């Protein structure tokens, strides 16, 4: 990972760094420590606030340079809005916004003094932990291939390196940070995988990345081409056959559920197309470089598995990622070719650029056969059409079960990773019928995301609760925000983690 940020928690009476952030609520209400600095500095905060018309509005801020007598060079006063009303997500976003503000000033070390509580359920220590998570997410960048140290964009030599968060109870804040840090590490891992170019991250390399989860207690198995041939995965394999780099299927098993009764796992399936040229149905040149991110679904699955294992989640989850490269060549699959999937169903390949669904077909089938899961969620950068429908702010959600869809939608609301439910319909399914095989892989011009979902559903067994998330618009080059400045967004890790934490851990709700 690029440029590490060291985050520590220390008591309120510690000596702050030369760049220090304090909070002010609506009406310029200050916490105990901030009041102390205010008094010592002969009211530097209220004087500057009056001059700048700063009233403590959430996410507004002022900066006081070299206030008298407190030994701080740069005092940033950050608004948190109505006292006692700060929510978890607001605290995370605030952490991101603060790091953005500090980075703009080029300080290499900073203190944040957290001496105010949030909502009733949120102590100052917990706010500090959430701020730390926001800081980690905001700090991530992908500059490791920039070598010119002098340029503005170069490997951030002078960036923020050290963040000390001062709190009432450092031990409590540190404990609250542990699971939040695990999730941020998962998000940043997913981002890194999406940002990494395809010459570095081929299908074999992507699959190998899952091995890094073994040290967290995840069992990893990697199936190679021979293994998949034996299983009859003609659908997945036809996508990779044009590439000189062989396909892989990586299977990550996290058995974290405590208690005697063996709990059925949740399966998370990811599309891991390391590069999508379109194959023989080749894509236009403009913007094709973005197709290095066509493994955003796989990245979200790997990042989620990392988060769950690092925070030792009390749940059984299996992550499966189909890793392939879609290339044109003398050996590539052709339009008109008919392949047989592991399910036994045959597919006429009408368009070799509709490859993601061919990968999902076999990985989904394998997941259900092998693990008999209680539910399956697949994530895929599946269609350009989902961006036409929902833009770059929402991912599309398709589901054969309302309960599962509602749980995902509620996790979506609590994390801010937006989902919009889209229709499954017999009419869309019918559009995938073929004269020459059981189905074709492309349904024509209309409802491109819904016909893709209908295709994928043909590989979901009766009685398996299933959701399909099309994140083509959000996995890469999504709208930048307080907690993400990266092209590869890591979208989905926070959503899936919250979905599991809120609905599938510590007994069913
Ligand atoms: N990987 C693409 C979808 C995509 C497009 C993701 C843009 C991210 C940004 C997918 O494999 C694809 O090419 N889909 C085709 C399907 C069509 C041929 C039926 C599409 O959306 O055009
Ligand atoms: Mn494609
Ligand atoms: Zn694709």
Q: Which atom of ligand 1 is nearest to the CA of 441?
A: 19
Mean pLDDT of 117-142: 93
CA distance 96 to 502: 24
pLDDT over 70 (residue 473): yes
Average pLDDT along the chain = 96
CA distance 469 to 484: 20
- pLDDT range class, residue 507, cuts 50, 70, 90: low
Can you give the pLDDT at residue 149?
A: 65
Can you give the pLDDT at residue 155?
A: 45
Mean pLDDT of 366-390: 98
Residue 7 burial by Cβ neighbours in a 10 Å radius (0-12, 13-18, 19+):
buried
Number of H helices, E strands in the chain: 15, 18
Which one is catalytic: 191, 357, 440, 458? Answer: 357
**Model pLDDT for residues 206-263, shown as the tens digit of each residue:** 999 999 999 999 999 999 999 999 999 999 999 999 999 999 999 999 999 998 678 9
- pLDDT range class, residue 154, cuts 50, 70, 90: very low
pLDDT over 50 (residue 508): no
Pocket lining: 294 vs ligand 1, CB cutoff 6 Å: yes
Active site residue 143: no
- pLDDT range class, residue 83, cuts 50, 70, 90: confident
382 Rama class: left (phi>0) / alpha (psi -120 to 50) / beta: alpha
* Contact partners, residue 269, CB within 8 Å, separation at least 6: 297, 301, 319, 320, 321, 322, 360, 363, 364, 367, 376, 377, 378, 379
Active site residue 59: no
CA 260–ligand 2 middle distance (angstroms): 44
Q: What percent of the chain has pLDDT over 90?
A: 93
Pocket lining: 470 vs ligand 1, CB cutoff 6 Å: no
CA distance 399 to 247: 28
Can you give the pLDDT at residue 4?
A: 87
- pLDDT range class, residue 315, cuts 50, 70, 90: very high
Can you give the pLDDT at residue 156?
A: 55
Q: Which domains are seen in the chain, by residue range?
A: 6-171 (3.40.220.10), 186-503 (3.40.630.10)
Mean pLDDT of 436-464: 98
* Contact partners, residue 481, CB within 8 Å, separation at least 6: 93, 96
Pocket lining: 423 vs ligand 1, CB cutoff 6 Å: no
Q: Mapping DSSP to helix (H, G, I), strand (E, B) and coil, where does residue 486 land?
A: coil
Residues 9, 173 contacting (CB under 8 angstroms): yes
Residues 465, 375 contacting (CB under 8 angstroms): yes
Residues 119, 156 contacting (CB under 8 angstroms): no
CA distance 400 to 429: 13
- pLDDT range class, residue 150, cuts 50, 70, 90: low
Q: Which atom of ligand 1 is nearest to the CA of 443?
A: 19
Pocket lining: 354 vs ligand 1, CB cutoff 6 Å: yes
Can you give the pLDDT at residue 151?
A: 53
Residue among 392, 405, 413 nearest 495 (CA): 413
Structure tokens, 496: 């899936």
Give the predicted TM-score (pTM) of the model.
0.97
Can you give the pLDDT at residue 119?
A: 73
**Model pLDDT for residues 414-434, shown as the tens digit of each residue:** 999 999 999 999 999 999 999
Residues 204, 248 contacting (CB under 8 angstroms): yes
CA 328 to chain centre: 30
DSSP string, 55-73: ---TT-EEEEES-TTS--S
Residue among 140, 496, 66, 90 nearest 315 (CA): 496
Mean pLDDT of 170-175: 98
| Burial per residue of 173-187, b for 16 or more beta-carbon CB atoms within 10 angstroms, e otherwise | bbebbebbbbbbbbb
Residue among 76, 47, 43, 83 nearest 62 (CA): 76
CA distance 462 to 66: 68
- pLDDT range class, residue 509, cuts 50, 70, 90: very low
């Amino acid at each position: 990972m690029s440029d590490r940020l060291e985050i520590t928690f220390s008591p309120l009476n510690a000596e702050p760094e030369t760049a220090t952030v304090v909070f002010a609520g609506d009406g310029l209400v200050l916490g105990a420590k901030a009041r102390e600095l205010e008094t010592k500095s002969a009211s530097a905060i209220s004087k500057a606030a009056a001059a700048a018309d700063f009233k403590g509005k959430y996410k507004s801020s002022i900066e006081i340079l070299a206030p008298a007598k407190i030994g701080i060079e740069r005092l940033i006063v950050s608004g948190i809005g109505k006292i006692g009303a700060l929510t978890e997500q607001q605290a995370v976003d605030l952490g991101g916004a603060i790091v953005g503000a500090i980075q703009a000033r080029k300080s290499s070390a900073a203190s944040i003094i957290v001496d105010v509580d949030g909502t009733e359920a949120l102590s100052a220590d917990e706010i500090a932990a959430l701020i730390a998570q926001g800081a980690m997410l905001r700090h991530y960048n992908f500059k490791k291939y920039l070598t010119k140290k002098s340029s503005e964009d170069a490997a951030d030599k002078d960036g923020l390196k050290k963040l000390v968060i001062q709190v009432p109870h450092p031990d409590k804040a540190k404990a609250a940070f542990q699971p939040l840090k695990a999730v941020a590490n998962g998000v940043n891992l997913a981002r890194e995988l999406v940002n990494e170019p395809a010459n570095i991250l081929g299908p074999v390399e992507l699959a190998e990345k899952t091995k890094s989860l073994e040290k967290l207690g995840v069992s990893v198995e990697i199936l190679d081409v021979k293994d998949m041939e034996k299983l009859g995965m003609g659908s997945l394999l036809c996508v990779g056959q044009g590439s000189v780099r062989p396909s892989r299927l990586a299977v990550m098993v996290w058995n974290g559920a405590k208690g005697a009764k063996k709990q059925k796992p949740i399966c998370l399936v990811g599309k891991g197309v390391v590069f999508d040229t379109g194959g023989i149905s080749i894509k236009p040149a403009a913007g094709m470089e973005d197709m290095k991110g066509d493994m955003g679904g796989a990245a979200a699955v790997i990042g989620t598995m990392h988060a769950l294992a690092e925070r030792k989640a009390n749940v059984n989850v299996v992550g499966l990622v189909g890793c392939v490269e879609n290339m044109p060549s003398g050996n590539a699959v052709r339009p008109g070719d008919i392949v047989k999937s592991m399910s036994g169903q045959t597919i006429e390949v009408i368009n070799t650029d509709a490859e993601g669904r061919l990968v999902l077909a076999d990985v989904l089938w394998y997941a259900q056969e092998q693990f008999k899961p209680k539910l399956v969620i697949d994530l895929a950068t599946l269609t350009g059409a989902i961006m036409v429908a929902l833009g770059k702010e929402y991912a599309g959600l398709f589901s054969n079960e309302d309960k599962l869809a509602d749980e995902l939608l509620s996790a979506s609301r609590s994390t801010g990773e937006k989902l919009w439910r889209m229709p499954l319909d017999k009419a869309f399914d019918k559009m995938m019928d073929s004269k020459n095989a059981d189905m074709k892989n492309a349904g024509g011009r209309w409802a491109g995301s819904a016909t893709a979902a209908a295709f994928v559903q043909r590989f979901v067994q009766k009685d398996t609760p299933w959701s399909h998330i099309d994140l083509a618009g959000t996995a890469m080059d999504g709208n930048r925000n307080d907690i993400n400045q990266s092209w590869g967004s890591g979208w989905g890790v926070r959503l899936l983690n919250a979905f599991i934490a809120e609905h599938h851990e510590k007994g069913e709700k």
